[in-house]
Structure 1
């Protein structure tokens, strides 16, 4: 049984595909908005921080409050669409996402913003979970469907590429609120288009909704991310943080046990007994949790430390985003001719090299120090984006296609959420300790030093010196630039080490899967 497949099951209720071009357009519009809202905030975070008086934890939740419900509810949303109607769920998801976007634009404090980001994430899960099944129904011909899926993938890559640049332009010219408000008119049109132009479709034998599994996964992810985000401020050994990690571990264990013993679990654990599929999932998780997550802190660095406007910061992300956009279709074509062990392992290796190269930044660096590494990492990002979904489909039999792609997409979102939280904790710790070392000769009072550490750990960069006495301003500016550059260096270096280790693991898993193929035949 599957969560949702790319084709209608035999004997499904008779429905007509309708106008496939309309379905493809609506799906691409929806996916463009969803992916844009993951990447567009990277250059808006400094303005959100200034306007809403947000600390680093608040900024981390701007990203994670969106990705957590998307990760936790994606598979459940696909099941709900199979059971109750994909057009119905798609329309509901578009309405929720649009309302959430409007509420984000009107947010007056970090709590409201992040609560509404979570509402956006719920809508995004409903849209993402129904997108591929709707395309599968609209394009029953395999060749036509392949072209539609190609357009789907190009849309994801395109949104990722233009996100920082478009976000910077909007923030500079209209304010950060408009990165969310722009979704409202588009969402209204897409909602009406879905109600008018999409035919309804359901699965003949839809799975039961695994409510308990969804709740367990949601609690586990939320507790893990909460512990990572609050650990630096609360203390890693504090009762609250230890309890948070314990809850995350116990609920994850309960989720796995339920999946192993349940009749129709949300995730089929049989997939994780296949080394090839595990390699694909690990790749998606690691690329999102290292490279994609790190861009949020690089955005803060560009604006608050190097002094660029949000639009100028978006321009400086182009080496990463443009190469990713160009690489995606190239590797999509090559993936049919080159063995998976080379393409997937190679994409991770290239990401590793790019992260390591970019990590050479220091207090004397300008943005150009990051550019060569961004170019290399962008190639790896585009390659992995193009390869993973098709590789996931190829790694399983057709009746597990929906489950396989759903799990891989879920692991990507979990990687982003966990990566933002973990790298943020590392950034806060390293910048704070470096700041204390840099300003030690000034013999500042403990209270003032603590305030400086908190400010620099929140990503404030050279802004921490703006209100300092004139005699300390030059020293604090240098200390702020040095400590922030050190924090960026650290998270990129650690990300490179994680990606490098993952490359070896993925290579071993794919080699094992390749050896198993002749035996299976």
Structure 2
């Protein structure tokens, strides 16, 4: 099908361009809000899940991991299928999957059913994550595209902020089931809007589905991410973990070979990796998410387990960071056409690194307000990051390849989260145990010190009254607090160093001249751009 024919078909399959743009942005933002909310909301309800379903620790791990694994594995597949089959069609299919699986999770009567539903939910989320930016990129051009991605990134930040609040409210006021069931009415309304208001777009030249590429990439990435997720609990040198890493690497190498052989029919264009801007934004995304999300995860643990705040109270205390993120993201959208993307992304990750480094201001006796400098600076960085990242990721390719590029970019983002939380979480765990064991209180506990240190690493100072004699409780609590806060500061500094490396990569590699013409200059209509492409 020619580009002109594709434009004609697109006009027939949806509302007029002006109305379609507004509906597309609104729908992509609603889907992103729902997805990002789901990332954080489940953690709040794990204790209630354990009690209600009689789940053990391994079961609870799978509540998180089944979603994470399928989400990471299907991002590239979802984006590539959208380019070939139609973005409207695939996006709506993702909404159906996510909504039905949310219903299944909310109605689950046993943990196995819940984990299966969570796995399917991850597939639906992967489709929505990867296709949403491609839909925005297809409808918006130039300055308007930057503003759209600014709003899109800001909504993601608000969802992260409200996740603990919404999760805490629904779990306390109703039931853990409603953290999943709340997605159902939102998903149904979004699906109706998607069917009636989205315009269809796809590659003008039809290619068959790359089944071998899909299987090798999806399974390889699943094994790799599984190794990082379970490495700490199973042992990094254990046979299952080493086997997962080895199998993942072999399958990903096979994926590269398959894609080279398939050429134009491949689900991923390997030549993109030779474009400095695409490689740079993917590596910068990996390092930024590996550090920033790991840092937020550990900071939340500190506020809840050391300072003793409830999920609701914790969410309120993180609002300064997230409100800053939202405001900066909205403003950043208007800067994309004026400031070099490498400068914006490099500065954003540098701010994130500085913000994490400011956690050294927090001491064992500090209140939560000591975190405010870190929160504000990190929020500035995170707000600056998402709009240019999303725009550059799809901006390096022709519009008809936007789904593929978005899928790969989101893959680096999610793998960064999994790797960062696992790696920096493991580093933090070991540092807390060692610091507590080396303290005077640890010395008095003798052989019990390591076990108590393990408890401090996972639960802070909560629960120590049941683990140590009352005669040494105050001394142990003070030592635990010091070990936790000191180790947190050390890990935040390590995160900051890695983030600065990501910033340097962005400054050096990301160049405006690598962007496709649709991502440069003043806004042009999607129809006219599609014809010239």
2:166 corresponds to which residue?
Answer: 166
* Aligned CA distance change for structure 1 residues 156 and 85 (closer, same or farther; 3 Å): same
* Aligned CA distance change for structure 1 residues 242 and 190 (closer, same or farther; 3 Å): same
| Cα distance in 1 between the residues matched to 2:60 and 2:427 | 15
Q: Secondary structure at the match of 2:365?
A: coil
| Cα distance in 2 between the residues matched to 1:212 and 1:490 | 44
1:205 corresponds to which residue?
Answer: 205
| Cα distance in 1 between the residues matched to 2:395 and 2:477 | 53
Q: 8 Å contact 1:171–1:178 — kept in the other structure?
A: yes
Q: Which moved more, 1:270-279 or 1:127-136?
A: 127-136
Does residue 509 (structure 1) correspond to residue 509 (structure 2)? The answer is yes
List per-residue Cα deviations over 1:190-219 (Å, max 9, x = no partner). 334444555665544343322222222233
Q: Secondary structure at the match of 2:207?
A: coil
2:442 corresponds to which residue?
Answer: 440
- TM normalised by structure 1 equals 0.84
Q: Secondary structure at the match of 1:332?
A: helix
1:226 corresponds to which residue?
Answer: 226
Q: 8 Å contact 2:82–2:131 — kept in the other structure?
A: yes
| Cα distance in 2 between the residues matched to 1:47 and 1:298 | 22
Unaligned runs of 5+ in 1: 515-521
2:90 corresponds to which residue?
Answer: 89
2:255 corresponds to which residue?
Answer: 255
2:420 corresponds to which residue?
Answer: 419
What is the deviation of 1:284?
1.8
Task: Show the 5 A alignment for 1:481-496.
Answer: 481-496=481-496
List per-residue Cα deviations over 1:134-162 (Å, max 9, x = no partner). 5567x488887776555544433432343
* Aligned CA distance change for structure 1 residues 89 and 356 (closer, same or farther; 3 Å): same
* Aligned CA distance change for structure 1 residues 374 and 8 (closer, same or farther; 3 Å): farther
What is the deviation of 1:291?
0.6
What is the deviation of 1:312?
0.8
* Aligned CA distance change for structure 1 residues 197 and 272 (closer, same or farther; 3 Å): closer
2:13 corresponds to which residue?
Answer: 16
2:387 corresponds to which residue?
Answer: 386
| Cα distance in 2 between the residues matched to 1:349 and 1:200 | 38
Q: Secondary structure at the match of 2:463?
A: helix
Q: 8 Å contact 2:142–2:337 — kept in the other structure?
A: no
Does residue 68 (structure 1) correspond to residue 69 (structure 2)? The answer is yes
What is the deviation of 1:392?
3.0
Q: 8 Å contact 2:340–2:512 — kept in the other structure?
A: no
Task: Show the 5 A alignment for 1:316-395.
Answer: 316-395=317-396
Unaligned runs of 5+ in 2: 515-533
- TM normalised by structure 2 equals 0.83
Q: Secondary structure at the match of 2:382?
A: helix
Does residue 118 (structure 1) correspond to residue 115 (structure 2)? The answer is no
Q: 8 Å contact 1:328–1:385 — kept in the other structure?
A: yes
* Aligned CA distance change for structure 1 residues 58 and 431 (closer, same or farther; 3 Å): farther
Q: Which moved more, 1:245-254 or 1:226-235?
A: 226-235
Q: How many residues align?
A: 508
Q: 8 Å contact 2:83–2:403 — kept in the other structure?
A: no
* Aligned CA distance change for structure 1 residues 330 and 55 (closer, same or farther; 3 Å): farther
| Cα distance in 2 between the residues matched to 1:37 and 1:247 | 30
2:465 corresponds to which residue?
Answer: 465
Q: Which moved more, 1:378-387 or 1:102-111?
A: 102-111
2:476 corresponds to which residue?
Answer: 476
Q: 8 Å contact 2:133–2:390 — kept in the other structure?
A: no
Q: 8 Å contact 1:347–1:383 — kept in the other structure?
A: yes
What is the deviation of 1:57?
7.3
